[in-house]
Amino acid sequence: MQKEPLITEEKVIACLSKLKAKKAAGPDGIKPELYQALMKNETSIEVLVRCYNKELEIKEEPESWKKSRTKMIEKKRKPRAKDLRPIALLNIAYKVFMMLIKDEIEARLKMNEEDHECQAGFIGGSRIEDNILTLQYCVEESYRNRKPLMVIAVDYSKDFDSVK
């Protein structure tokens, strides 16, 4: 019995249509405009769908997806080293694949009714500002009612250096 592919042509086209033009290319040098042009060719879409579903099947990403190109973006007009912000540029194929995965996680959360109103990660349209306002409200209520409040923050930023 043939298993239904997780990634479909419709999903790939939806992700490709979200790509913004005139953005820098990743290490492979391929710009988003090329992928948007591929979106108009049925054979190209079929190949992309097959490739992405194969990636899900073998569960090992290509070596090229593990590389990025770093550019320094100026924060000021005449920046010094401390006024530059690094931006990691990834291959567009990898970005589209991750968009597909994110969209699937989001869809499954909604389908299983596990998308909570306080959930900010993997949910489109959510903003960090909402969580900050909620925290501010809790602090103010705790102070006003003279009740203790315990706040815990977990920083996962370094976890992604060690997780495959």
∠ CA(90), CA(55), CA(64), 5° rounding?
30
Provide the whole-model pTM.
0.67
At which residue do the structure tokens 């102070």 appear? Answer: 143
| pLDDT tens sequence across 85-140 | 788 888 999 999 999 988 888 788 778 776 666 666 556 666 777 778 888 999 99
How far apart, in whole angstroms, are the C-alpha atoms of residue 145 and residue 5? 54
The pLDDT of residue 130 = 78
The pLDDT of residue 124 = 65
Q: Where are the domains of the chain?
A: 9-116
Q: Which residue has the higher pLDDT, 95 or 4?
A: 95
